[in-house]
């Protein structure tokens, strides 16, 4: 059962129990799908980060990347479990890489890296935001400009906060945030769409292979 079906069944059950209006069921399904998706992803990502001992870096990267993604859009996987896998790997990778690079980079270099990341993302935002997402095509020029402005404002805030974090909390946190922001910048650029699409296909292929083997094993048992 996928997340959409799970939310749909839950919405049907709740609407029956509470004798809800039938035209509210789909809205309820949408809300439940968002809540389930956030809970599952948040719990899995933060638990794994805690187990690996990189919770602060992953949490900071998650906040930096998620808010930016909310404003700028970008490429998507075609299923929730593939999205979960890719998202968890991305943010755990950002945390690990932040810690690794933090050990080896001199004190001044992260500041220059942050500035370079900001400038590159700034230019990409002006040219490409809002990235196209399924179910929500933004064609209105005013609305498109609003998302561009919001993304630039957010990037400026992120740069300021990152420099403060770099000064007072250490470079690994700031670098993890930078990697998350750069990953998000790539995800709404044309090469990013191609990469996410290919990774999505790869994960779908792996899932298909696994399911086929399990089916064959079940058939052999009979």
Residues that bind another protein (CB under 8 A): 3-4, 7, 11, 14-15, 17-18, 20, 23-24, 26-35, 37-38, 41, 65-66, 69-77, 80, 82-84, 86-87, 90-91, 130-131, 133-136, 138, 147, 187, 196
CB of 218 to another protein, least distance (A): 30
- Residue by residue, DSSP assigns 8-37 as HHHHHHHHHHTT--GGGHHHHHHHHHHHHH
**CA gap 177, 154 in Å, rounded:** 13
CB of 109 to another protein, least distance (A): 28
Beta carbon nearer to another protein, 82 or 166: 82
**CA gap 129, 147 in Å, rounded:** 7
Beta carbon nearer to another protein, 30 or 122: 30
Residue 78 half-sphere exposure, CB side, CA atoms within 13 Å? 10
CB of 35 to another protein, least distance (A): 6
Contact 96, 138 (CB under 8 A): no
CB of 127 to another protein, least distance (A): 16
């Amino acid at each position: 059962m996928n997340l959409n079906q799970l939310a749909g069944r839950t919405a049907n059950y709740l609407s029956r129990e509470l004798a809800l209006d039938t035209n509210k069921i789909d809205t309820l399904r949408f809300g439940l799908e968002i809540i389930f998706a956030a809970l599952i992803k948040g719990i899995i990502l933060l638990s794994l980060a805690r187990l690996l001992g990189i919770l602060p870096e992953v949490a900071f990267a998650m906040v930096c990347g998620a808010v930016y993604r909310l404003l700028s859009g970008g490429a998507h996987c075609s299923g929730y479990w593939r999205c979960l896998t890719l998202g968890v790997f991305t943010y755990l990778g950002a945390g690990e890489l932040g810690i690794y690079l933090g050990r080896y980079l001199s004190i001044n270099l992260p500041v220059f890296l942050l500035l370079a990341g900001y400038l590159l993302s700034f230019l990409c935002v002006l040219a490409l935001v809002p990235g196209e997402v399924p179910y929500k095509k933004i064609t209105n020029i005013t609305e498109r400009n609003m998302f561009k402005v919001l993304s630039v404002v957010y990037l400026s805030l992120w740069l300021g906060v990152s420099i403060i974090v770099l000064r007072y909390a250490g470079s690994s946190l700031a670098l993890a945030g930078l990697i998350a922001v750069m990953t998000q910048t790539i995800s709404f650029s044309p090469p990013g769409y191609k990469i996410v699409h290919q990774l999505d296909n790869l994960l779908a292929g792996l899932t298909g292979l696994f399911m086929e083997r399990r089916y064959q094993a079940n058939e052999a048992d009979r």
